[in-house]
Amino acid sequence: GAGVSQTPSNKVTEKGKYVELRCDPISGHTALYWYRQSLGQGPEFLIYFQGTGAADDSGLPNDRFFAVRPEGSVSTLKIQRTERGDSAVYLCASSSQGVGDYTFGSGTRLTVV
């Protein structure tokens, strides 16, 4: 596609439920990133994929968070046993090369009630 697509754009879930957030990167981009943006804050790094493998998952806050990219294209961020503190905008970005040369998606706004 022309840009990075994230679905859903909005997700409301109950505390304790499981959610999946999807990112469809630009075709051919090998690098894929997930960031989380809380209200009034800048984006915070979660995880980086190079191809199918997670090259850096140091930003995942705890073991309730997990992400996959099985075929080196689409990625899914999975959150188990959601908590109200998980409410944020989850941003995905992809890149073909270079530091910081990302294309960001519009994000998924997750609200845990």
Partner 1 sequence: AQSVTQPDIHITVSEGASLELRCNYSYGATPYLFWYVQSPGQGLQLLLKYFSGDTLVQGIKGFEAEFKRSQSSFNLRKPSVHWSDAAEYFCAVGPGGATNKLIFGTGTLLAVQP
Residue 105, burial from CB neighbour count under 10 angstroms (0-12, 13-18, 19+): buried
Q: Describe the chain by its helix, strand, coil percentages, rounded to 5.
A: 5, 50, 50
Closer residue to partner 1 in complex, CB, 82/108? 108
The least CB distance from residue 45 to partner 1, in Å, is 4
Closer residue to partner 1 in complex, CB, 82/102? 102
Closer residue to partner 1 in complex, CB, 13/59? 59
Cβ atoms 11, 53 nearer than 8 A: no
Provide the binding-site residues for partner 1, judged by CB under 8 A.
Answer: 3-4, 31, 33, 40-45, 48, 55-56, 59, 91, 93, 95, 98-107
